[in-house]
Amino acid sequence: MGPKLAIIAGGGNLPWLLRDTCDASGRDCLFIALNDHADIYREPAPDAVIRIGDWGRTLDLLKEHRIEELVFAGTVRRPALKEIRPDARGASFLARLGRAWFGDDSILSAVMNELEKEGFHVVSPESLLQEFVANEGAYGSVQPDEAAIADILRGKEVIKAIGEQDIGQAVVIQQGIVMAVEAAEGTDAMIARCKSLLRDDAGGVLVKLPKPGQDRRIDLPTIGTRTIQAAREAGLIGVAVEAGGALVVEVEEIMKIADAAGIFVVGIPGD
């Protein structure tokens, strides 16, 4: 069964999929939802709801329930410092963060390091959801053509460049031109933002990959039906993720939506 697990849940379906997987296997888990990020009114209800600033309360909760392993899942919008309103231990933690606050990976790595100092072991969502790790090849009947493949390769180059600066995991490329780069808004909002920039009948591909050197226990690229629907609404012709380096959830629905819209979804080899 494994040691008792806590799921720290942000937005989207991934945290709930993790809980369903634990329930199906009989693994004991504590589901902690982040207020203003996770859908705290979704059923079955979370075991606890916390704010990002509740560092002390969170540690007490984990120790009270004898948690040994932690997994972070779902989207989290990084709040402004003035929104956090940390408790006493949270304020001390923020002071220790320093410049790590300004990078997505650096702040998450700092959080993991602090939790591991407290005796918890952080695991990756993919270690619990092996059946959802992206495979190489197409999901569905649509395949990328030569022009789309060239855009995918261009996207890999761009993500490597922005990833080294800890900026984002996704880009939209059209005929070799960078139409949008993911920043703080997240993938779906980035896709919507580029809709007015895309040229008609000229393709357009979303490429979403891990950053170079990314710790894959946290913030692993994930796509689901919302991503494919956003791509369809924006007029994109396809989505590419890294085989073995992303999670593809709601696979059957993704394939239905993609095939109906004539969009390819493909897992590509990593470097």
What is the domain count for the chain?
2
Average pLDDT score over residue span 158-164: 88
Average pLDDT on 134-141 reads 96
State how far the Cα of 209 lies from the Cα of 241, in Å rounded to an integer: 6
Specify which of 11-15, 73-77, 134-138, 187-191 reaches the highest per-range mean pLDDT.
Answer: 134-138
Enumerate residues 6+ apart whose C-beta is below 8 A from 103: 166
User: Is residue 201 helix, strand or coil?
Assistant: coil
CA distance 75 to 145: 31
Q: Looking at the structure, do residues 233 and 138 belong to the same domain, yes or no?
A: yes
| Contact present, 9 and 38 (Cβ < 8 Å) | yes
Q: Could you tell me the two tokens for 52?
A: 């990002």
Same domain membership, residue 71 and residue 141:
no
119, 181: one domain: no
Domain that holds residue 26: 5-123
Tell me, yes or no, whether 86 and 186 share the same domain.
no
Same-domain status, 143 and 258: yes
For residue 79, whether the previous peptide bond is cis, meaning omega lies within 30 degrees of 0, is no
Kindly give the interhelix angle for 225-234 and 187-194, rounded to the nearest 10 degrees.
Answer: 10
From 123, 151, 184, the end of a domain falls on 123
User: Is residue 266 within 8 Å of residue 138, measured between CB atoms?
Assistant: yes
Residues 21 and 69 in one domain: yes
The predicted-structure confidence for 208-242, as pLDDT tens digits, reads as follows: 999 887 777 877 899 999 999 999 999 999 999 99
Q: What is the pLDDT of residues 88-133, one digit of tens each?
A: 887 787 777 665 555 555 567 777 888 888 899 999 999 999 999 9
Question: Do 101 and 226 have their domain in common?
Answer: no
Q: Which of 88, 105, 123 is the last residue of a domain?
A: 123
Neighbours of 74 (CB within 10 A): 23
Task: Judge contact between 179 and 156, C-beta under 8 A.
Answer: no
